[in-house]
Structure 1
Amino acid sequence: MSFIIKPIIKIIFWISIAILTSCSTSEGDNNDPPTFTTRIIKFSGYEWIVRTSEDKKQGPGPNLFSDSADNVWVDDKGRLHLKIVQRNGYWYCAGVTLKHSQGHKKYVFYLASRIDELDENVVGGLFTYKNDNEEIDIEFSRWSNTTNQNSQFAIQPAAKLGNKYRYDMDLNSTLSTHFFDWKVNEIEFGSYEGHTLNPENDAIINSWTYTGSDIPPLNDERLKINLWLFRGQSPTNSQPAEMIIERVEIL
């Protein structure tokens, strides 16, 4: 009987993984479904699926995404590292997806790296995603233009007037706090110096409240974090790029 049971167990396993990873990532580019991966990490008390595209480029970008421990890992302090690295002449990006939908809540990200100093071709994203028109974003990038501001809050479709708020961030240290509070009729965004939700006035980098018509409905969305290359272009400095998240709170 074992020769029959083992294939059935394998089929059930891969169907389960397919269900868990059915959402793709997007920051305004067209996207492809991520390749299924068996790597799941624990971070901030949650389980996260690590993205891989194997040997095929996928959106956003498009880019190659890797679930290697060189691209995604949790250190001995419990911090999540996402890193863009070059292997065998190819750049590999990084992304994770929260295993379960959380819905209308406040999503807080405590970062521990100088995201204001990312290479101009690198994009760091903190976001919920269901599809390209049901997405809430905090993004760090100059979008391949050194004169652009380096951060933005956005509701997709971001090209629509009023759905995006750009700002500049010039940090004094590696520590910063970013959040969006997703409610039925509004989404509140904020970026602060340090790790706090009660900042002094001089620690408030920027804030924005969105009340437009594109607030995503509850639709089995997933929280995602990624680090990728705009239009798939190599970093201008030819160096690896990293984003460190100390912890995530969902309130």
Structure 2
Amino acid sequence: MRKSIFLLIGIMLLISNASALSWSRYDGTLKSGTKGPGSNYWNPNNVYIDPDESNASVLSWSGYDWILKSGIKGPGSNYWNPNNAYVDSDGKLHLEINYTDGHWNCVELDSVKNFKYGKYTWVVSSQSLNLDKNVVLGLFTYTDDNHEIDIESGQWGNSSSDHLHFTCQPDQTVTFVSPDSSYINATNVTYTFDWRPTYIHYTATASNGKIIANWYCTNARDIPKVKAKVMINLWLQHSVPPSNGKPVDVIISSFYRS
């Protein structure tokens, strides 16, 4: 009788584990023991599904699938609301910051796929270089804080600072677009970085083809050599509301990688 009970429990655990590890429409067989490649030790317990991502909202836009962040998280310990991103009838992505449910809500999209070298391009059709001083627009790739390539439009709470930042984490940042720049209210700006093993070339280009900002990062130590997610976010510095108390809507026409 006792053996039958143990056998039944074992079968139930196997069924439960198989169900829990059904992910992305496939049931994977988990390797165990000492095997190749590399004659490594393989532990099936080293696989799990992130509970945040297993129930996450996914948005399809510009040929890619994006996971929408939710909850209270960084940057800035903000509230992140999946409903603050949507695609309009023209195929343009809207990112919103708004006040609902008693607090200000921000938005972030993280690519489902990981990428590496290539040219990354965003076309932002709305005004993007003169956002409220507490608002940051991020167009970037991210693996961790030491492997990150950023284009950020924001004033970081200081209205007298430059408005555009190109960053190669962890150590290098350059800034462009002063408050009195002729491009401060430009629309349809194209932002790019060309990520290669030996350099990253950043640009911001006006709709008339004029270069607003241009920078080469050539410090090999800081250039990421690992795959990363593409991320797009609109958020509040230190969770401080927009200084004018108004909601924000940034419209991105397209993203592509070549």
- How much does 1:9 deviate? 4.0
Q: CA deviation at 1:44?
A: 0.9
Q: Does residue 228 of the first structure (1) align with residue 245 of the second (2)?
A: no
Cα distance in 1 for partners of 2:192, 2:139 equals 9
> Are 2:229 and 1:216 aligned?
no
Which of 35, 38, 51 matches 2:52? Answer: 35
2:92 counterpart residue number: 79
Higher strand share: 2
Q: Give the one of 68, 89, 94 matched to 1:50.
A: 68
**Matched residue of 1:191: which SS?**
strand
- Assess if the C-alpha contact under 8 Å between 1:98 and 1:223 holds in 2: yes
Deviations 1:27-57 (A, max 9, x none): xxxxxxx93343111111111111112xxx2
Say which one has the larger Rg.
Answer: 2
8 Å CA contact 1:20–1:99 kept in 2: the answer is no
Q: Distance in 2 between matches of 1:108 and 1:239?
A: 29
Q: Structure 1 residue 205 and structure 2 residue 212: aligned?
A: yes
1:84-123 alignment runs, 5 A limit: 84-123=97-136
Instruction: With the length of structure 1 as denominator, give the TM-score of the two structures.
Output: 0.80
Q: Which one has more relative contact order, counting CA pairs under 8 Å at least 6 apart?
A: 1
The residue type equivalent to 1:225 in the other structure is I
- Note the aligned Cα RMSD (angstroms): 2.6
In structure 1, how many angstroms separate the alpha carbons of the residues matched to 2:87 and 2:129?
22
Q: Report the Cα distance in structure 2 between the residues aligned to 1:82 and 1:237, rounded to whole angstroms.
A: 18
Count of residue correspondences: 220
Q: Contact between 1:171 and 1:193, CA under 8 Å: does it hold in 2?
A: no
CA contact (8 A) 1:178 1:192 kept: yes
Sequence identity percentage: 32
- 2:56–2:69 contact (8 Å) kept in structure 1: no
- Conservation of the 8 A alpha-carbon contact between 1:21 and 1:49: no
TM-score, normalised to structure 2's length? Answer: 0.78
Alpha-carbon distance change, 115 to 250 in structure 1, aligned in 2, over 3 angstroms: same
Aligned to 2:7: none
The CA distance in 1 between the partners of 2:141 and 2:158, in whole Å, is: 26
The alignment partner of 1:164 has SS state of strand
Unaligned 5+ segments in structure 1 are 23-33
Q: Is the Cα–Cα contact under 8 Å of residues 130 and 185 in structure 2 kept in the other structure?
A: no
Query: Of residues 14, 22, 25 in structure 2, which corresponds to 1:12?
Result: 22
Which residue identity is paired with 1:40?
Answer: V
> Cα deviations across residues 76-114 of structure 1 (Å, max 9, x unaligned)?
111111111111220110010111112100000011111
